Every structure is written in C-alpha cells, then in structure tokens.
Amino acid sequence: MSTAVYERIRNNPKFDELVAKRSRFAWTLTAVVLGIYFIFIMVVAFNPKLLATPIWEGGTASIAWPIGAGMILLFWLLTGLYIRRANSEFDDINAEIIKGAIE
C-alpha cells in the first residue's frame, strides 16, 4: 500500500479526531468492564460472604446469581453500545477520510 496515501490520511485533522473519539470511547467502556469485573473478583477473594446474602429476607437464592447474570448482560449491552456508535458515527468519519485521501 502506498505510503503517500497513509501520509495524507495521517495529515487529515479528521483522522486525529476519529482516533481520539474512538479511543476515548473504547477505553472508557473497557475501564467500566474491567473495573466492575475486578471489583467482583476482589469481593469473591476477600469478602465472599457478601455475595451469599439472600435476595429476599428469609429466602435462599443469593444475590450472587443475579449479580453474575447482570454482569454478563451488562457487558454484552456495552458491546452493543460500542457497535452502535462505531457503525454509524466512526465509520462515517472513516469513510470520509479515506475518500479524501485517495481522490
């Protein structure tokens, strides 16, 4: 691939804008997922009793299960959130940058 085209893309201010926006979004979502996940692992390691708390007063089923399922669901929804923005906003800017560079 021609370095000249890459050079033109690189010099387009929109490229920096795209990279900055996308990186910020992706890393924020990553931080949310990893943060929640490692808090969970820390609770498992240091305070396992907390997770065994019953959901209902006097019940048996513990909050651990819905918390686990909730994490799985939330993380999946976050990937959906990422896709929604990436497929519209980011891909549009991207297409524009490439179009500008090869013309």
**Which amino acid appears at position 30 of this protein?**
T
Contact between 58 and another protein per CB under 8 A = no
Which of 13, 57, 59, 103 binds another protein (CB under 8 A)? It is: 59
Quote the crossing angle between the two packed helices 3-11 and 13-46, to the nearest 10°.
Answer: 80
Radius of gyration of the chain (CA): 22
Q: What are phi and psi of 54, to 5 degrees?
A: -65, 150
Contact 65, 56 (CB under 8 A): no
Residue 3 to residue 1: CA distance in whole angstroms: 6
Q: Does 89 bind another protein (CB under 8 A)?
A: no
Q: Which of 17, 55, 92, 100 binds another protein (CB under 8 A)?
A: 55
List residues near another protein by CB under 8 A: 1, 3, 5-6, 9-10, 15, 18-19, 22, 26-27, 29-30, 33-34, 37-38, 40-42, 44-46, 48-49, 51-52, 54-56, 59-62, 64-65, 68-69, 71-73, 75-76, 78-80, 82-83, 86-87, 91, 94, 97-98, 101
